[in-house]
Amino acid sequence: MNQLIRLLIIALAFVSCQEKSSKSDYIEQRVEEILSKMSLQEKVGQTSLRGTSSRVKGDLSEDLKNAVRNGEIGAFLNVMNPKYVDELQRIAVEESPNGIPLIFARDIIHGYKTIFPIPLGMAASWNAEVAETSARVSAIEAAESGIRWTFSPMLDIARDARWGRIAESPGEDPYLASVLATAFIKGYQGDSLNSENSMIACAKHFLAYGAAEGGRDYNTTIVNEELLRNVYLPPFKAAFDAGAQTVMSSFNDINGVPASGNKFILKKILRDEYNFDGFVVSDWNSVTEMIPHGYAKDDKHAAERAITAGLDMEMTSTSYEDYLLALMDEGKVTEEQLNDFVRNILRVKFRMGLFENPYREKVDASRWYAQSHLEAAKEAAVKSTVLLKNNKTLPLNKNQRIALIGPLADAPVDQLGTWTFDGDGNYSVTPKQAFAENKYKFVFAEGLKYSRDKSSAGFKKAIAAAEKSDVIVFIGGEEAILSGEAHSRADISLPGAQEQLIDALHKTGKPLVLVIMAGRPIALGNIMDKVDAIVMAWHPGTMAGPALYDILNGKAQPEGRLPVTWPKQGAQCPIYYNHPNTGRPASADSFVGINDIPVGAWQSSLGNNSHYLDLGFEPQFPFGYGLNYGEIEYEKTIVSSGKLRRNETIQVSCTLHNKGNYPITETVQLYIQDVVGDIVRPVKELKGFKKIRIAKGESVSAEFTISTKDLEYVDSSMNYVVEDGDFNVWIAPNSAEGIKASFELIE
Ligand code: BGC
């Protein structure tokens, strides 16, 4: 690079740095200015997030307006009438003592009006661009309603398919979750926080909520600090690095201390280590829920615990509003603590540009369900779909007569999934509609009215339809309400009489394609051998129909890969690929199944190790798994050198051949194992992935660069370390395959 250009780049970087720091100096000054004029009452007001139920649409009460007029509220959740948003904001800006604008929040989790696949589905795309676009579209659509704060992304690592909220999670892997976290934050917050159509994001739920015991929602979590730091924290760190402005404390207790009163996570990690300068909001009533937890004796004590822990804003419960000043009088909390909360909140309001432009974005024509948004939702649904099994049944061809069967083949609301208060089923395109629009020869018979339906009344018609067809496409799974918050299941197989119907359809002898729409992996043991192909569509959203139509007919290639290990049964959970080894690792060589144990066998382990006698040790499908239409062959993994010196890098590569009949975009995955560590290390960890397009008949080399940073982890002294020694490495199509190579890290 020529010297002049280099100097110019340095000068520009300097100017932009100066601009940023003078902007933040300006914001800090304004914050102090306002703070110095605020009454104590008003300061407490800023810490209050007033919730209204998503279903209440009644008139604004005078009491509520007066509360805003007096500066008693800092933000609102779920004000769904834009007229009310305008009116409340006008009162705050024009009539409250210091004219501090409100923030309006809503759970916009995977789309506002245009609904994208559920977050677990988005994670299955392994595609940051798709995730970012979904968040951008959400922000653009929500801006019309004045919503500038979303309680998303959910970044809870989830290793248990029984947990209903696995549907909202980015899956089980910290690396994939971190990539997605960055993408979601960029999408929601846009290029500039003070644009009228950017929403501030909220990284939630801080922390380890996904580790709820037994997958039962809200349950206690016991997670040692190494695990917190190596597994549960990285996606949050990525979100903060990407500029997330808010974070939500979770419902669960972590090692005995509820998150909303947990100084260790809210102060030590968040503020001292991560230097987070946005604000922390509680979850819905999670401050006063510390009472049933047994961590606070009453509301006042709960407020004291949360304030002392450093929680800035209370969602829906009113313990700060009711007791903060009394606690101050009693010397239990200080005005400086309150000032810090207000500073954090005002700083974000300034960054959002609310003081200059507090009002809702006015648009000439509504952008809800805009054509480009629907196309983006369709693309996301296509890219999230995972092909799990295929006995050469897919793709379909248009000459085949199809029997379209199942409770989710034409379920416009259920295909949207959990957390879709605003998505309108009338805009959904169902698979049945998509087949009809494409003038496909098909007969439709739902067979079951909804996923839990136990009645066999519709079987006869469904079987008759199957008998008249060449291929059966059964679209079943779970209704939207069976996953999401507080919707955990112990038995994660297909609910209702779906398995019986599949059995009856199988008996017709026709090829049978199972398409699953669900918020979690589904136990398939009873039907695995009765179906010829399995497609996991998650809850795909508004454009489920066109997306599935394209996938089933080979107009689009399945690119999705599992973001979670798929268990054989709920009883196998928690199950995850990146587990540590035991001293007696399970292996196929020594496994003796329950039916192979001789009657009266002598009391011994029979060579069995860490597994279930009746379920083995392998999952149904491994993390990272997904088939293509066609065949990709991986050669062995090659390392450029058997030794890696600190501060240097090595290249790892693998040649891939496309032996099938289609061009394919392959998700090539890089896994590493640290063989011996200060603490036991996972058997494998994802450290990178790439989407590589491979034309039919072509061979390409996939390459990754490994640096010592990729080998870092938190040891038993809570230090980030990279230890000398042996490492294994795989370039692979999923976490269970690939040919291992090795290298040694030396000084
Ligand atoms: C959920 C949060 C959500 C909040 C507000 C809670 O029940 O746990 O994820 O953001 O409600 O609706």
What is the C-alpha separation between 649 and 745, in angstroms, rounded? 10
Asked if the bond preceding 487 is cis, omega within 30° of 0, the reply is: no
- Over residues 212-223, the mean pLDDT reads 97
- Per the listing, tokens 């398939």 go with 524
State if residue 86 touches ligand 1 by the CB under 6 angstroms criterion: no
pLDDT for 343-381, tens place per residue? 999 999 999 999 999 999 888 889 999 999 999 999 999
State if residue 218 touches ligand 1 by the CB under 6 angstroms criterion: no
Contact 432, 410 (CB under 8 A): yes
Cα of 486 from ligand 1 centre, angstroms: 11
- Mutation test residue for ligand 1: of 56, 77, 78, 107, the one with most atoms within 8 Å of CB: 107
What is the C-alpha separation between 232 and 54, in angstroms, rounded? 30
pLDDT for 79-126, tens place per residue? 988 999 999 999 999 999 999 999 999 999 999 999 999 999 999 999
Strand partners, 673: 728
The residue type found at 337 is Q
> What is the residue with the minimal CA distance to atom 5 of ligand 1?
284
Specify the ligand 1 atom closest to the Cα of 151: 10
What is the C-alpha separation between 440 and 50, in angstroms, rounded? 51
Cα of 173 from ligand 1 centre, angstroms: 23
For residue 212, the 8-state DSSP code is: -
pLDDT band with cut points at 50, 70 and 90 for residue 284:
very high
- Mutation test residue for ligand 1: of 206, 485, 487, 488, the one with most atoms within 8 Å of CB: 485
Cα of 224 from ligand 1 centre, angstroms: 25
Cα of 284 from ligand 1 centre, angstroms: 6
- Over residues 140-167, the mean pLDDT reads 97
State if residue 625 touches ligand 1 by the CB under 6 angstroms criterion: no
| Whether pLDDT at 490 is above 50 | yes
Cα of 151 from ligand 1 centre, angstroms: 7
What is the C-alpha separation between 385 and 516, in angstroms, rounded? 10
CA atoms within 13 A on the CB side of 278: 22
Cα of 386 from ligand 1 centre, angstroms: 28
State if residue 284 touches ligand 1 by the CB under 6 angstroms criterion: yes
> What is the residue with the minimal CA distance to atom 6 of ligand 1?
284
- Return the active site residues: 283
pLDDT for 29-64, tens place per residue? 999 999 999 999 999 999 999 987 654 466 788 999
CA–CA distance from 449 to each of 430, 455, 518, 638 (Å)? 15, 9, 16, 53
SS3 of the chain: helix, strand, coil, percent, to 5:
35, 20, 45
- Over residues 289-299, the mean pLDDT reads 98
Cα of 432 from ligand 1 centre, angstroms: 33
| Whether pLDDT at 3 is above 80 | no
> What is the residue with the minimal CA distance to atom 12 of ligand 1?
107
- Mutation test residue for ligand 1: of 76, 110, 151, 316, the one with most atoms within 8 Å of CB: 151
The residue type found at 372 is S
> What is the residue with the minimal CA distance to atom 11 of ligand 1?
284
Mean pLDDT in the chain?
95
What is the C-alpha separation between 586 and 25, in angstroms, rounded? 58
> What is the residue with the minimal CA distance to atom 2 of ligand 1?
283
**Share above pLDDT 70 across residues of the chain, in percent, rounded to a whole number:** 97
Sequence length of the chain is: 747
| Residue 731: per-residue pLDDT | 98
| Whether pLDDT at 5 is above 80 | no
